[in-house]
Amino acid sequence: MLPVLAERVRGTKFLEHPVRTIVNPPESTGMGFWSVNPYVGCELGCTYCYARYAHRYAAERVRDAGALADGASRDLLTPAGLEAFEHRILVKSHRAVLAALDRDLARVRRRVASDGPQMLLIGSATDPYQPAERQYQVTRTILRRLLDERGLRIGLITKSPLVVRDAALLARLSRHHAISVYVSLTSADVRIIKLFEARSAMPHARLRALERLTEAGVRTGLIVAPILPGITDGTRQLRQLLRAAKRAGAQFARPEPLRLYPDTRRRFLPIVVRHFPELAARYRAAFGDGWNVPEAYATAVRKRFRRIAKQCGIAGTDEDDAPVVPAVPAQLSLFAPRPA
């Protein structure tokens, strides 16, 4: 049975998870990089988070391994994972994490030796600096273990200012690895943040964290994930955000269009209907039964993002320089930008 480490007044439980492996190979995720998530589930509970889609599968693996009693299984596997994702957090135990890293990093080293540098991304699904990290420090344990390695490409995604706690550690890692920290921020508009990710830090706090990491000598930039069609994708909105990132010292910026998995849209679309009713029908038409925005829109908004980033003095986007097909005016037709 998974030991209960703590329980918050508002009902969130933290369960110790004795993992056997922690580094996910590209073949198992289909994401093209190695990934590490110190926690399963995330207290931040952002309405658009695509990891809700995968949460129930992670919980099912724990159940199938015999680590849950019937009652605990029902508790962790609530319908669609909507509540369990942010109220039942699996904390990977330090001892198990270190043992798993010893095994998993050996595989990574072999692949790097044969195929060259590959990205090891920390926080691909849940925030490695969510509030639980302040107490449990699983992310810090992983980073310290990586001090023993050499020559990796390491990325870390977070929207939490808590990352600054480990600025010196990240700077030390930068001497032996190619490190990039991606500060996640979808908008500089406080109202947007409060609507879609109310438990996250406000924009100014994240930008200050970006600035402090840069000052510590850590390569740090912005990941705008996700760009919300018709809400945060307008020229004015993107310019406001990228100018603020440049002032904070961002060395790169990367856009990621919205993905609406079934478990995500149950949380996300009601907010659109209530606060942006003119966009509700367009969202339904554009996504239909699928997950991704139309390819023409994704291409157009990435092109727009790159243009504005360059104008703001942020030259790098940390993306492959793939050919860009001509943008249709259609941001564009499905999602007209909000007034500038």
CATH code for the domain defined by 159-335: 3.80.30
**What confidence score (pLDDT) does residue 116 get?**
85
**What confidence score (pLDDT) does residue 85 get?**
86
Distance of CA 126 to the CA centre of its chain: 6
Choose among 14, 162, 6: nearest CA to 86.
14
Asked whether 245 and 308 are in contact (CB, 8 A), the reply is: no
Q: Cα–Cα distances in Å, from 337 out to 130, 245, 316?
A: 32, 21, 25
DSSP assignment of 178-242, as one string?
EEEEEEE-S-S-HHHHHHH-TTSPPHHHHHHHHHHHHHTT--EEEEEEEE-TTTT-SHHHHHHHH
Asked whether 90 and 60 are in contact (CB, 8 A), the reply is: no
**What confidence score (pLDDT) does residue 55 get?**
67
Asked whether 173 and 184 are in contact (CB, 8 A), the reply is: no
Q: In angstroms, what is the C-alpha Rg of the chain?
A: 20
Counting as low any pLDDT under 70, the low residues of the chain are 54-83, 317-340
- Phi then psi for residue 178, to 5 deg, are -90, 105
